[in-house]
Amino acid sequence: MIARRILFCASEVYPLIKTGGLADVAGSLPRALNKAGHDVHIVMPAYQSVLKHLKRPAKVLVETGVQDYTVRISQTTLPGSRVPVLLVDCPELYDRPGNPYLDDQGQPWPDNAMRFGVFNRMILALAMNRCGLQWQPHIVHCNDWQTGLVLALLSSERKRPATVFTIHNLAYQGVFDRSAFEQLNLSDYLWHYERLEYHDQFSFIKGGLVYADRINTVSPNYAKEIQTSTFGHGMQGLLQHRADRLSGIINGIDTHTWNPGTDVLLAHKYNKQHLDDKLENKRALQKRYSLPEKQDMLLLAVISRLVEQKGIDMLLAVLPDLVKRPVQLVVLGSGHKLFESALQAASQKYSEKLSVHIGYDETLSHQIEGGADVFLMPSRFEPCGLNQMYSQRYGTIPIVSPVGGLFDTVVDASAENLQAQTATGFVMQQANEQALLFAIDRAIDLYQQPEQWRSLVKIAMQQDFSWEKSATAYEQLYEQALRDNP
Ligand code: ADP
């Protein structure tokens, strides 16, 4: 593969700042590309929490004017790597406490269009080598609406880099009113329904969807789904129109953090040769959750944001039937208060069978992956999903609905797939209650056949979800974008 210069543009990058899956990708993919020999620079806003996270102050490279603001570009590195991170630093816009998008009332910052408009104009200057850094990328890789405008701005440049736009969650689109469009001094030409206008409003994400040389999303199946009205959030027509440029690449996972053989958060480390040690984690988990310590009772788990997307209503609906079966269920999550209190009430009612921990707890999430037999993910939509991949690595068999990345990463334990030794979990036939119960019953049956179960667990544990594999797919996407760049 030819070594390329890549400008990776994201609004959040783990571990500097994270609100969602985008940060995980932005913290991992550039690292993997760097290892593969590419010259990757990340660019992100200098949020207050990012600046606080730095051990040493970032080195100021340039200072310039954008709109009516003075903006500096300073440089640091991605912690634990050599990947340079360019920080777009403008205290008036980014030096605020808390969340990058929302104020302390949970409302979008009122100047978000300007905040990300300035960020995008700065990326444009970097992409065109107009900042005096003597570095011009071959590829500009933008992610989600916060960087969508870059692609529209670049489209009118001669000799521009090739562009890729990745959709991590189409539900967020960066839509503002016309006055925001005017404040950003954008060309009137862009105010058109085939460009940035969306039902009389101004859409950042359309910049990416209309103008990128290549568009991708975080699983091949979600790439198909978003071309339908059920999953397209109003963008299905445009995405169908660009279908020849649209593809999907599954996210990798952090295989160092999520490794049952080295995980210090587990009571007992284990691997597929020593599966009996997993039982020690099961015992510890039952104890932690105050459930009867029964070794041969199928232990189900959920770790999730407690929101509708994740099928929590479905889970609540099947609970009365579920508790009649030979299973236990542990839940870790937080989210909608209604779901939190319904789960807590159910755990009091069925205290021998169900135990719930409300909150966000990374240590406990590892212990659950280490101790449970089965992981439930009955999501209604799921661009990629991570836990079904962590679960497989931990030999905790996932039960998933047949959507998005779940469908792409779990091979159903049908008789045929079990025979072929390719099965890694249970894929529900539909995203509904009956299908969830049916899949759980199939798991209960197979669990009664210890040899078959053990074989399923071992095959799940062998799956390769590393970033190296995904990075290779991105390298190919970049080459396609270079070929498509007019
Ligand atoms: P999403 O980004 O839509 O929430 P993903 O499956 O892609 O769903 O990623 C969610 C990540 O957050 C997983 O790593 C999951 O383990 C973690 N997570 C979610 N809720 C909790 C929680 N309450 N405690 C610990 N980790 C959690």
Predicted local confidence at residue 234, as pLDDT: 97
Is the bond preceding 15 in cis, omega lying within 30 degrees of 0? yes
Predicted local confidence at residue 75, as pLDDT: 97
Answer yes or no: is 345 within a domain: yes
Answer yes or no: is 406 within a domain: yes
Contact between residue 166 and residue 217 where contact means Cβ atoms under 8 Å apart: yes
Predicted local confidence at residue 186, as pLDDT: 97
Answer yes or no: is 78 within a domain: yes
Predicted local confidence at residue 189, as pLDDT: 97
Q: Are residues 308 and 435 in the same domain?
A: yes
Q: Ligand 1 centre from 361 Cα, in Å?
A: 10
Phi, psi of 308 (to 5 degrees): -60, -40
Q: Are residues 59 and 131 in the same domain?
A: yes
Q: Is the CB of 365 under 6 A from ligand 1?
A: yes
Q: Is the CB of 335 under 6 A from ligand 1?
A: no
Q: Are residues 350 and 242 in the same domain?
A: no
Token output for 12: 């959040």
Amino acid at 34: N
Token output for 228: 């339908």
Q: Could you state, in chain order, the average pLDDT of each consecutive group of 10 residues for the chain (486 residues)? A: 95 92 94 97 97 92 95 96 97 94 92 98 98 96 98 96 96 96 97 98 98 98 98 97 98 94 96 94 98 97 94 98 98 95 98 96 96 98 96 98 98 98 98 98 98 97 95 98 92
The CATH number for 457's domain is 3.40.50.2000
Q: Are residues 433 and 386 in the same domain?
A: yes
Number of folded domains in the chain? 2
d(CA 154, CA 190): 12
Hey, whose CA ends up nearest to atom 17 of ligand 1?
304
Q: Ligand 1 centre from 351 Cα, in Å?
A: 25
Predicted local confidence at residue 106, as pLDDT: 85
Predicted local confidence at residue 19, as pLDDT: 87
Q: Is the CB of 385 under 6 A from ligand 1?
A: yes
Q: Ligand 1 centre from 194 Cα, in Å?
A: 36
Q: Ligand 1 centre from 461 Cα, in Å?
A: 20
Given the CA of residue 251, which atom of ligand 1 is nearest to it?
Answer: 7
Answer yes or no: is 25 within a domain: yes
Predicted local confidence at residue 161, as pLDDT: 98
Q: Are residues 227 and 371 in the same domain?
A: no
Predicted local confidence at residue 486, as pLDDT: 77
Q: Ligand 1 centre from 370 Cα, in Å?
A: 16
Answer yes or no: is 130 within a domain: yes
Indicate the pTM of the whole model: 0.93
Answer yes or no: is 266 within a domain: no
What residue numbers bound the domain in which 423 lies?
276-464
Q: Is the CB of 305 under 6 A from ligand 1?
A: yes
CA distances for 80 relative to 74, 76, 212, 240, angstroms: 18, 12, 31, 40
Q: Are residues 25 and 153 in the same domain?
A: yes
Q: Are residues 439 and 480 in the same domain?
A: no
Q: Are residues 226 and 352 in the same domain?
A: no
Answer yes or no: is 259 within a domain: no
Answer yes or no: is 269 within a domain: no
Place of tokens 């789960």: 343
Predicted local confidence at residue 351, as pLDDT: 97
Predicted local confidence at residue 368, as pLDDT: 98
Q: Are residues 299 and 437 in the same domain?
A: yes
Q: Are residues 164 and 242 in the same domain?
A: yes
Q: Ligand 1 centre from 303 Cα, in Å?
A: 7
Q: Is the CB of 303 under 6 A from ligand 1?
A: yes
